[in-house]
Structure 1
């Protein structure tokens, strides 16, 4: 089963491997809680993004602050990636992952004027959003519908927790969630069935316009 996981989920495995390698490099260069090290490896900082360092809308998904942070995100990505990569396919998962990351980090940059944040949670929330999209679109599929509901409950619990825990990037999580939900419609899920063309076009337009508006607001 383990061997099949690595073979059938190359995108998930690669993403986890990259963030682990980055974490080890950060540890060797001064520690993953060191602000200078975090910024050097691409953590999100609104001022630097607005100064033109747009790559920081993507690089934070590979940067984590402390061992507990990378452990939780890696475990979560391991399990949600199993579903998303198999149901959407490899390249579609990759698109959803990075679109969610950009959406989450853009909203975070717009919402939070200063400070520093990092982690794969913006993209992971996007994967949850994509699965919720499957639950809505393929609600006649009992297994997908039930899993979609479970993920929705998990997301709601996480967001409620975010409201009471200081230091959590709620904007990033919400942006990633919505970005992943819309991106799921945009790329479709042919392995499961047909997604309504009108819904796909509408979701794509809303997603693109939303990202453009945030980009303009941030810049």
Structure 2
């Protein structure tokens, strides 16, 4: 997205009405059939909701359509994300586990089946890191609002009165300046929002990380934290806090880097890169652990449908898709590195009769995907960071890439502020 001057990019939700009313219902029906009316649908395979925390341009005096994108869409989108989220329970249901007694081991060693089963007794981690992330984000937002101190800001006289003045210095900026009920763009800039000029010219690379922890408003914060709770807790229970912590932080960093390469005239905040990284990781987890799923086609088609919806939202005006793509690609590659599951035969090696040869921990293709992903991650980050700190514009090397963020139509102009 190109704008004439610096304005704040807020990561918000953007979702079409058709998708909201039609698509989730069809997916929900499919989920009910596959779940066989099993109503235990809250412990789902975590997946970010569509267009989570999309970058959104906020001009000083937004028009009515802009206000709709900023405030109404996030609410509708969160409801729809729940529908999409429920469908993915079928992926967890498709991982069937069995316990085997000592009489079964001979059959296990002679079996020629191409798939293996994960036991129901698979270790479940206690989730504590994701709740800590949520608490940290909320606490930081309170600090930001305290420092913003809307009642004592002189510019509010020009754009309107502060919102919720009973909160004192914690009151929100006027709706005309920030429809998401939050601080001003200048406050966010001071506290670490992503801005290309400060990152490259002033060598403030730390903004690539701090911008992930800032939020543009209460609506922005609420939607992101609800999504993180649904997604992150389930992932952390399955794979542990170390792997999910690395996945979340590196995905957010990857989204910030790619966004800075292609969008250089705006400032941005929010965790869209990190949340899209979780979506990418779930896709690669499905692929690298392909043999443990009994409902492979359903799981893959569901994930691909959600991915297409998420990324398609990015072509709307004022929505930055580069942070989404950067986070998604980083999470997708990290999923091959951090989320492979060992073969069942390797898990049962201690219970095998003496002298029985056990299987290797991972399948050959899992090792290949691991190596390829590590190479792509290292080379990708190296090239992107070198280009960024040399001050290069990604659009100069990819003349069609701007269409990934906004496709111009007769109804909107991608170059408008």
- Taking structure 1 as the reference length, the TM-score comes to 0.88
User: How many residues are matched?
Assistant: 212
2:160 is the counterpart of 1:42: no
Equivalent of 2:245, from 88, 94, 113?
94
| Structure 1 match to 2:129 | 11
Segment drifting more, 156-165 vs 49-58: 156-165
Distance 1:17 1:144, change over 3 A: farther
Which runs of 5 or more structure 1 residues have no equivalent in the other structure? 1-6
Kept in 2: contact 1:126–1:177 (CA 8 A)? yes
Change (3 A) 1:84 1:144: farther
For 1:129 and 1:207, the matched residues in 2 are separated by 14
> Cα–Cα, structure 1 residues 124 and 99, in superposed 2: closer, same or farther, change >3 Å?
same
For residue 302 of structure 2, what is the aligned residue in structure 1? 150
Decide which structure has the larger Cα Rg and report it: 2
Q: Unpaired segments of 5 or more residues in structure 2?
A: 1-124, 149-171, 173-181, 345-361, 390-417
Distance 1:64-1:177 versus aligned 2 partners, 3 A rule:
same
| Distance in 2, Cα, partners of 1:8 & 1:165 | 41
Q: Is the Cα contact below 8 Å between 2:274 and 2:327 reproduced in 1? A: yes
For the pair 1:199 / 2:361, whether they are aligned, the reply is: no
Assess, with a 3 A threshold, how the Cα gap between structure 1 residues 147 and 74 changes in structure 2: closer, same or farther: farther
Moved more, 198-207 or 147-156: 147-156
| 1:23 matched residue in structure 2 | 141
> Structure 1, residues 127-180: CA drift from partner, whole Å, max 9, x if none?
1111111111122333785556434422321221121142x2210010000000
Give the number of the structure whose residues are more often helix, by fraction.
1
C-alpha displacement of 1:191: 7.2
Q: Map 1:102-113 onto structure 2 (within 5 A).
A: 102-113=253-264
After superposing on structure 2, the runs of 4+ consecutive aligned residues of structure 1 that deviate more than 4 Å are: 143-149, 190-193
